[in-house]
């Protein structure tokens, strides 16, 4: 098998029957990211775009490809890595992300759960009653938003890929969570909430890994020790099995959701400022403050910073 240009094949894409050599694959991949950004009008000329990075393959590839096309799109990039405080896991991601940022001449912003909330994720999960991914998701979202506001960013790009999107859509269908389904569109309901964009949402996870390997990108392949407790893993396996029998089903899932999203409107959420941290929220006290406050109460720490 060889590429249409005659080059040595490195990839056979099952769902389209195409064969790619390395240069043709890189061209296709970078063009796809560019076209996805244009198709969904993800950025405007002159915008400051935050890039959420972790040192893993998705966000490393995202930052590397965006760095190549930022000039053409006339945007500037600001990588941010949130250190959750997960022992024997997070360090390797930070090292990989620091190396990528150094190679691409970016300064990496590195906020941490510990600095911002007084707790590492390890402490939260061992002392609290919720699943680690609940603490992680809620606090990471808050810290990224806070950082984006501090840096006066226009949008935040994340490394979510086609597989992540398909999984999130299926999970929310199964739980009937329409509000979260709408949130996948990334529309911020408050001017202080950063709008999110997902330039890799049309690219399957395995193509992202291939791009990282072919281009020798520095990535951490360590898996979060809490990942096995994640319900998403079961959904991922289910969709991957479907994809085996029916190549292209991941695209069908997101296309179906896009059609549905056009026909329905999210309920308007009334936003206000959290009584504790002053960040935007739909409640009196934001979920992040609520979660950390529960642990302070358990520890017998003061609750004086929580207003009525």
Residue ranges binding ligand SF4 (CB under 6 A): 84, 132-133, 136-137, 224, 226-227, 230
CB of 67 or CB of 274, closer to Zn ion? 274
Q: Are 217 and 26 in contact (CB under 8 A)?
A: no
Least gap, CB of 14 to ligand SF4 (angstroms) = 28
The residues that touch Zn ion, with contacts defined as CB under 5 A, are 274, 276-277, 286, 289
Q: Would you tell me how many other CB atoms lie within 10 Å of the CB of residue 29?
A: 22
286, interface contact from ligand SF4, Zn ion, none, CB < 5-8 Å by kind: Zn ion
Least gap, CB of 83 to Zn ion (angstroms) = 20
CB of 43 or CB of 136, closer to ligand SF4? 136
CB of 137 or CB of 256, closer to ligand SF4? 137
280, interface contact from ligand SF4, Zn ion, none, CB < 5-8 Å by kind: none
249, interface contact from Zn ion, ligand SF4, none, CB < 5-8 Å by kind: none
Least gap, CB of 181 to ligand SF4 (angstroms) = 19
Rounded distance, CA 43 to CA 74, Å? 9
Phi, psi of 302 (to 5 degrees): -65, 150
Return the CA Rg of the chain. 20
51 - beta bridge partners?
79, 157
CB of 114 or CB of 284, closer to ligand SF4? 114
Of residues 245, 82, 253, 92, the one with CA closest to residue 164: 253
Least gap, CB of 229 to ligand SF4 (angstroms) = 7
CB of 133 or CB of 271, closer to ligand SF4? 133
224, interface contact from ligand SF4, Zn ion, none, CB < 5-8 Å by kind: ligand SF4
Least gap, CB of 227 to ligand SF4 (angstroms) = 4
**Neighbouring C-alpha atoms within 13 Å toward the C-beta of 288:** 26
255's tokens: 């296309």
From residue 117, how far is each of 128, 136, 175, 305 by CA, in Å? 14, 12, 30, 13
213, interface contact from Zn ion, ligand SF4, none, CB < 5-8 Å by kind: none
Of residues 65, 49, 74, the one with CA closest to residue 155: 49
CB of 75 or CB of 219, closer to ligand SF4? 219
Least gap, CB of 283 to Zn ion (angstroms) = 9
Helices 232-245, 162-175: axis angle to 10 degrees equals 110
CA end-to-end span of the chain, whole Å? 68
133, interface contact from ligand SF4, Zn ion, none, CB < 5-8 Å by kind: ligand SF4
Residue 62: DSSP 8-state: H
Least gap, CB of 226 to Zn ion (angstroms) = 23
DSSP H or E run through 18: strand 18-20
Q: Are 127 and 299 in contact (CB under 8 A)?
A: yes
CB of 224 or CB of 253, closer to ligand SF4? 224
């Amino acid at each position: 098998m060889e590429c249409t240009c005659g080059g040595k094949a490195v990839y056979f894409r099952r769902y389209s029957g195409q064969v790619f050599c390395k240069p043709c694959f890189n061209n296709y991949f970078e063009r796809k990211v560019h076209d996805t950004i244009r198709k969904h009008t993800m950025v405007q000329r002159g915008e400051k775009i935050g890039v959420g990075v972790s040192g893993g393959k998705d966000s490393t590839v995202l930052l590397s490809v965006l760095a190549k096309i930022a000039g053409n799109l006339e945007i500037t990039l600001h990588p941010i890595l949130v250190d959750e405080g997960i022992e024997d896991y997070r360090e390797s991601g930070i090292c990989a992300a620091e190396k990528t940022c150094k190679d691409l001449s970016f300064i990496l912003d590195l906020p941490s759960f510990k600095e911002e909330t007084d707790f590492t994720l390890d402490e939260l999960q061992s002392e609290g009653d919720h699943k680690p991914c609940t603490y992680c998701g809620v606090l990471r979202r808050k810290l990224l938003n806070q950082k984006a506001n501090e840096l006066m960013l226009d949008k935040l790009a994340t490394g979510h890929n086609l597989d992540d999107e398909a999984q999130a859509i299926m999970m929310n269908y199964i739980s009937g969570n329409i509000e979260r389904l709408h949130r996948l569109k990334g529309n911020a309901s408050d001017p202080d909430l950063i709008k999110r964009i997902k330039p890799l949402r049309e690219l399957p996870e395995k193509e992202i890994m291939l791009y990282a390997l072919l281009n020798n990108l520095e990535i951490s392949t360590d898996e979060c020790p809490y990942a096995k407790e994640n319900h998403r893993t079961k959904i991922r396996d289910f969709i991957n099995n479907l994809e085996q029998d029916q190549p292209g089903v991941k695209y069908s899932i997101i296309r179906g959701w896009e059609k549905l999203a056009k026909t329905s409107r999210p309920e308007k959420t009334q936003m206000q400022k959290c009584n504790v941290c002053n960040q935007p929220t739909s409640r009196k006290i934001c979920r992040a403050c609520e979660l950390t406050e529960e642990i302070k109460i358990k520890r017998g720490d003061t609750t004086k910073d929580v207003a009525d």
